[in-house]
Amino acid sequence: MNKFLKDWMEELDELDVHLKLGKDELAEAFEKQKNKFVEFLNQASSKIDEKIEDLELREKAKGLKARMEELQVQMALGKAEGQEAFEAQKEKLEEALNKAEEEFKQLKASASEKYADVADEFQEVAEKFRTKLDLLRLKYSLGKADLKDELEEKEKEIKTKLHEIRQKTEEKSEEADDKWDEFKDEMAEAYQHLKGAIRGLFK
């Protein structure tokens, strides 16, 4: 199977799993996502070390490494039992993510394209992580009586969008490789709409 398609289908599967989570499964799902992100941070840190060839770049990378370590500390705060603890950790994680992203952008700009692949990968993984956090927030909030009806309707809309994306992916999977660039752009746009729908739930 085409690697892009494989990765894309795995992401759709994860989103589908999160939409089906029960209340008692939310804390564990949050822990799994944090652990997965920590694994990525360790890999990214190793890649950065491999790319540093001179003292100047090593100095520029210090700020980024510090932000990545700060992010790992936030990821290791412990299991969030209940919505209040989840919301508190989510807020700190997003703040740390924003700071790390800014450092990646600065290092990428100052070191030409040397760190482009790592920076772009961080951006992609961070966005997927944020989307999972927003879905978990939705699942926690469904328990609130004043929001229940509205959020249940939004949840149905998200499930419908996800189903449409999966269906289109399965249809495109049989097409020739020379059409994958066009398909990737199409799916990226669809994913942006899906993320927008999820992120707009609480605005």
Q: 160-169: which pairs have CB atoms within 8 A and are 24 or more residues apart?
A: 161/190, 161/193, 161/194, 161/197, 162/12, 162/15, 162/16, 162/19, 162/194, 164/190, 165/12, 165/190, 165/191, 165/194, 166/9, 166/12, 166/16, 169/5, 169/8, 169/9, 169/12
pLDDT at 53: 63
Give the mean model confidence (pLDDT) for residues 187-200.
76
pLDDT at 112: 58
**Could you tell me the residue range of the domain that residue 197 belongs to?**
3-202
Q: 184-189: which pairs have CB atoms within 8 A and are 24 or more residues apart?
A: 184/4, 187/8
pLDDT at 142: 79
Name the residue among 153, 161, 148, 149 with its Cα closest to residue 195. Answer: 161
pLDDT at 26: 92
Residue 81 structure tokens: 């039992």
CA distance 132 to 130: 5
Tell me the pLDDT band of 38, cut-offs 50, 70 and 90: very high
Whether the full predicted model's pTM is greater than 0.85, yes or no, is no
Q: Indicate the number of domains in the chain.
A: 1
Give the mean model confidence (pLDDT) for residues 158-182.
73
pLDDT at 179: 64
119 vs 95, more confident: 95
Q: Please report which helix (H) or strand (E) contains residue 62, including its range.
A: helix 55-75
* pLDDT tens-digit series, residues 114-165: 667 888 888 889 988 998 998 898 888 877 656 667 777 878 888 888 888 8
CA distance 67 to 74: 11
Mean of the per-residue pLDDT values of the chain: 81
* pLDDT tens-digit series, residues 13-35: 888 888 888 888 999 999 999 99
